């Protein structure tokens, strides 16, 4: 199941459209504050903090997040807490709904002090409040924190409150990249409204967001449908009452829902094909004299992911290794015309006759970067009847070396670069790719109208004509050499089952993550190998569900 992940500018369009439809800005702000209060109460109780009687410091900036904090202060006062507002602006400088709710809070007796007075310890504020509410900066923040804001963030982080609660996003964290700029509030809980924002879902952001909870604020469904966001992510719990105020939590690790699936007595019985031909035929082309293991891993993963027949095409030493260790594979020798025994352009011609009989081709694991490998890649990419392809590893370097081959890519093809391979394709450094993974994904997608998977923590999937997908999970058991070969094999199996490329890619990434999570039971401190990832796949295939299903609320 997917839920939408709007970028900050897309969320702003939702807000503007809601206001234009007749829902006032004050109403949206009040809805957000009520949702945030419900979340704060729940998480305070989990930490053993009673809201009634607690001291609460609310840091309010000049935007709508400040307005949310003003509303929350009023609700906290009604709940018996002792709220204090710290404002970065003078009262007369606030505008719109924020100004309205600040005046209301003041009229009802909420103490208000300036940020300058707080910094100088001249405000009547408890030095160690029980609860801190961060409403300094919202999701529209970009660039670098100014010196004044940075000092406020650092002071807030030094308070050591029992509960640090961020409204919409921890101040200083980029909603677009997930990076602090250069620091950010470290919250125990972040409640974000209506939908998560892309930067919140990257695994590194968890150090700042803590628990990430999504709560509805009454955004009309029609507005969301008419303004679809660029991104989406998996939801592993079904928010059946989301429209009526039920929250959901987006997890960077093993959610209770996934844990419950693992603990179920048995996975659902297979309803798939009972004949190997109908289960999908995958051809894996890769390997060289220096790398025999990568194509074998990809081929084995395809079998473990449910493919009915998997053939490995490669140099003799690769086939010898596969024949000894994996007799379930069928083997196809190369033309033998390469002087070094590896690859040459004629090998593509030798495969030409059989390619149409396969549902998918996994190309590149262990291919090597010899002249012959590049000649083979060029010849293969120009074949007219090739099946949908997973293009991985050294095949990506062949595309980077001869960019004109990118024009041969089709919407049914899936490319799986890691940051280093993406950097080579884009002519930048891996550091630049990691600095803004969303921008790097957009640049990859502009190279060709295929499905692009930017691997790594916070894997991203660009799907032509569909919202991109964010994989928020941080799974250490997947960070092992050969893991990418396994992923390529899984996607190949999904393509061979005639799934659309975008669905095959999302299914592959989802199954890969589930496999790593399942392995965390037996390998809590890592130590697993790529074969372990492949071998656990049958145990999680029945748990994957259908990631193509959309949340009914959207």
Angle at 212 between CA 208 and CA 215, to 5 degrees: 140
Cα–Cα distance measured from residue 112 to residue 125, given in angstroms and rounded to the nearest whole number: 10
pLDDT at residue 121 in the model: 85
- Please answer whether residues 37 and 72 qualify as being in contact, where contact means their C-beta atoms are separated by less than 8 angstroms: yes
In 3-state terms, what secondary structure has residue 23?
coil
Cβ-Cβ contacts under 8 Å for 55 (sequence gap 6 or more): 81, 82, 84, 126, 129, 130, 131
- Please answer whether residues 444 and 505 qualify as being in contact, where contact means their C-beta atoms are separated by less than 8 angstroms: no
Closest CA to 39 of 85, 76, 80, 84: 76
- Please answer whether residues 258 and 547 qualify as being in contact, where contact means their C-beta atoms are separated by less than 8 angstroms: no
- Please answer whether residues 482 and 211 qualify as being in contact, where contact means their C-beta atoms are separated by less than 8 angstroms: no
Closest CA to 168 of 99, 68, 297, 31: 68
pLDDT at residue 267 in the model: 46
The torsion angles phi and psi of 114, rounded to 5 degrees, stand at -80, 155
What angle in degrees, to the nearest 10, is found between the helix axes of 8-20 and 25-46?
130
- Please answer whether residues 165 and 176 qualify as being in contact, where contact means their C-beta atoms are separated by less than 8 angstroms: no
In 3-state terms, what secondary structure has residue 304?
helix
How would you classify residue 464: left for phi > 0, otherwise alpha for psi between -120 and 50, otherwise beta? beta
Instruction: Identify the structural domains of the chain with CATH numbers, from first to last.
Output: 2-252 (3.40.50.10260), 281-541 (3.40.1190.20)
Cα–Cα distance measured from residue 446 to residue 154, given in angstroms and rounded to the nearest whole number: 39
pTM for the model stands at 0.91
Report the DSSP beta bridge partners of residue 232: 4, 469
Q: Cβ of 26: how many Cβ atoms within 10 Å?
A: 17
Residue-level length of the chain = 554
Can you give the pLDDT of all 554 residues of the chain as single tens digits? Answer: 789 999 999 999 999 999 999 999 999 999 999 999 999 999 999 999 999 999 999 999 999 999 999 999 999 999 999 999 999 999 999 999 999 999 999 999 999 999 999 988 888 888 899 999 999 999 999 999 999 999 999 999 999 899 999 999 999 999 999 999 999 999 999 999 999 999 999 999 999 999 999 999 999 999 999 999 999 998 765 545 555 556 778 877 666 556 666 665 544 445 556 566 678 999 999 999 889 999 999 999 999 999 999 999 999 999 999 998 888 899 999 988 888 788 999 999 989 989 999 999 999 999 999 999 999 999 999 998 899 999 999 999 999 999 999 999 999 999 999 999 999 999 999 999 999 999 999 999 999 999 999 999 999 999 999 999 999 988 999 999 999 999 999 999 999 999 999 999 999 999 999 999 999 999 999 999 999 999 999 999 877 654 444 433 33
Reported as type and span, the H/E element at residue 391 is: strand 389-391
Cα–Cα distance measured from residue 490 to residue 298, given in angstroms and rounded to the nearest whole number: 8
What does DSSP say about strands 309-314 and 389-391: parallel, antiparallel, or unpaired?
A: unpaired
pLDDT at residue 266 in the model: 47
The torsion angles phi and psi of 249, rounded to 5 degrees, stand at -110, 130
């Amino acid at each position: 199941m997917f839920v939408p992940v709007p970028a900050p500018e897309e969320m702003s369009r939702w807000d503007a459209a809601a206001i234009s439809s007749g829902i006032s800005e004050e109403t949206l702000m009040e809805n957000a504050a009520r949702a945030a209060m419900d979340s704060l109460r729940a998480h305070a109780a989990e930490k053993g903090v009673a809201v009634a009687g607690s001291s609460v410091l609310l840091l309010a900036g000049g935007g709508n997040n400040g307005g949310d904090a003003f509303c929350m202060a009023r609700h906290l006062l009604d709940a018996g807490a002792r709220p204090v507002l710290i404002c970065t602006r003078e009262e007369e400088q606030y505008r719109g709904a924020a100004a309205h709710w600040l005046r209301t809070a003041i009229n009802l007796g909420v103490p208000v002090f300036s940020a300058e007075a707080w910094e100088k310890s001249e405000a009547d504020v408890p030095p160690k409040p029980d609860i801190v509410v961060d409403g300094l900066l919202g999701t529209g923040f970009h660039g670098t924190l100014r010196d004044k804001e940075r000092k406020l963030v650092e002071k807030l982080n030094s308070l050591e409150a029992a509960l640090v609660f961020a409204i919409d996003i921890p101040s200083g964290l980029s909603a677009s990249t997930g990076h602090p700029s250069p620091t950010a509030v470290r919250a125990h809980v972040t409640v974000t409204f209506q939908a998560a924002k892309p930067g919140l879902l990257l695994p590194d952001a968890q150090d700042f967001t803590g628990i990430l909870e999504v709560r509805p604020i009454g955004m009309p469904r029609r507005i969301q449908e008419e303004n679809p966001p660029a991104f989406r992510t998996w939801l592993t719990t079904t928010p059946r009452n989301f429209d009526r105020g039920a929250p959901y939590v987006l997890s960077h690790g093993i959610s209770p829902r996934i844990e419950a699936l693992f603990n179920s007595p048995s996975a659902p019985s297979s309803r798939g094909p009972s004949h190997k031909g109908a289960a999908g035929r995958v051809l894996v082309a890769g390997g060289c004299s220096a790398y025999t293991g990568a194509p074998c891993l990809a081929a084995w993963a395809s079998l473990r992911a449910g493919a009915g027949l998997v053939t490995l095409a490669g140099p003799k030493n690769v086939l010898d290794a596969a024949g000894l260790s994996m007799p379930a594979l069928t083997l196809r020798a190369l033309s033998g015309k390469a002087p070094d025994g590896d690859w040459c352009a004629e090998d593509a011609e030798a495969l030409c006759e059989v390619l149409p009989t396969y549902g998918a081709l996994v190309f590149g694991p262990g291919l090597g970067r010899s002249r012959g490998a590049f000649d083979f890649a060029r010849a293969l990419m120009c074949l007219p009847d090739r099946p949908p392809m997973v293009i991985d590893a050294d095949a990506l370097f062949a595309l980077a070396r001869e960019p004109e081959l990118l024009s041969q890519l089709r919407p049914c093809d899936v490319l799986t670069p890691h940051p280093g391979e993406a950097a080579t394709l884009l002519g930048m450094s891996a550091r630049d790719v990691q600095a803004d993974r969303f921008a790097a994904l957009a640049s990859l997608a502009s190279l060709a109208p295929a499905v692009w998977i930017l691997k790594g923590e916070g894997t991203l999937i660009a799907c032509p004509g569909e919202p991109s997908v964010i994989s928020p999970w941080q799974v250490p058991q997947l960070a092992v050499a050969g893991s990418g070969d396994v992923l390529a094999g899984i996607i190949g199996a999904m393509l061979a089952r005639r799934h659309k490329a975008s669905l095959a890619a999302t299914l592959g990434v989802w199954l890969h993550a589930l496999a790593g999570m399942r392995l965390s039971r037996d390998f809590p401190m890592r130590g697993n190998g790529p074969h372990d990832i492949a071998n656990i796949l049958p145990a999680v295939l029945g748990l994957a569900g259908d990631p193509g299903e959309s949340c009914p609320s959207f």
